[in-house]
Chain A
């Protein structure tokens, strides 16, 4: 956690912010997230694993016929942390300019 603003480490990376924000509007497949973020498979996979490890994202792997399909969704914890993050950003913007 960032002590000063109480922001989770997950929001330290732009890609992770993009992924969390994209999942706010509902679950997305790996392909959809790749399209939205423009990230490579490897990078996306690593960041999703981190988010899953922190309990921000739930990842479900299944088969659509014979084709594998990975679906990601934001957890309640992830959503709540995102709300905290947005509130922190708003707080920064409300502060008078130095």
Chain B
């Protein structure tokens, strides 16, 4: 191969890449999502920690903080939906979008929240309260719910959104079943099983709430089933069409 042939080949590759779109967009998209979420979340965690360290009223600020976190969760889901619609339009794999935007990223975000608190909140006489529960119930209750609530809430919303978008009637039926099963959280609502004593702030970090564990558990089962269904029905873009 001489220089001219190499140049021709490079030019050919460049033309095809320009006409089809390079692969970088997917990675960039994920990173942008994650960085935006992380930046907002880190700023809030820092502000919250500084407030408390400077004598702020812990009980009230944690409520605001948890509420703000919940709203960021909403924004994140909305952005995920928009990206999902964009991906579908481009004809990319629905499983990839599902896994990438709705399962992996929120999970990473929750883990990052936990890590941030470990860093910023060192020696602070409180525990993290990042979930929607913090907004609804206040400090003590939200302390018991922990991050599981946020995770379950994110997964729950994403699954329902998938069911709405999907054209597959089996997925829609399963989503309805999932919705019915999720009502079980109300049954378990007053039977929270706290393994550790709630009185001690530090110990509450290790409490276990059956209510949300149940919801998260069925969410995971549903997620696994949806991915399996999408993979086996031989259709990449959201479900088989009704005949």
By a beta-carbon cutoff of 8 Å, the part of chain A in contact with chain B is: 2, 4-5, 7, 11, 14, 17-18, 21-22, 24-29, 32, 36, 60, 62-66, 69, 71, 86, 88-89, 92-93, 95, 97
Nearest CB of chain B from residue A14's CB, rounded to whole Å = 6
Residues of B within 8 A of A71 (CB): 236
Please give the number of chain B residues whose Cβ is less than 8 angstroms from any Cβ of chain A in the complex.
Answer: 28
8 A-B residue pairings within 8 Å (CB atoms):
A21-B17, A24-B20, A25-B20, A28-B20, A89-B9, A89-B10, A92-B2, A92-B3
B1–A21 CB distance below 8 A: no
- Also in contact, A36 and B240, with CB within 8 A (given A7-B1, A92-B1): no
A17–B12 CB distance below 8 A: yes
- Which 3 pairs show the lowest CB-CB distances between chains A and B? A62-B234, A92-B6, A21-B16
Q: CA of A5 to CA of B22 in the docked complex: distance in angstroms?
A: 26
Tell which of A24, A28, A32, A97 touches B3, judged by Cβ atoms closer than 8 Å: A97
What does DSSP make chain A's interface, helix, strand, loop or mixed? mixed
B3–A95 CB distance below 8 A: yes
Q: CA of A2 to CA of B2 in the docked complex: distance in angstroms?
A: 13
Q: Is B55 an interface residue (CB 8 A)?
A: no
- Also in contact, A64 and B240, with CB within 8 A (given A5-B1, A36-B20): yes
Q: CA of A24 to CA of B2 in the docked complex: distance in angstroms?
A: 25
Q: Is B241 an interface residue (CB 8 A)?
A: yes
Residues of B within 8 A of A32 (CB): 91
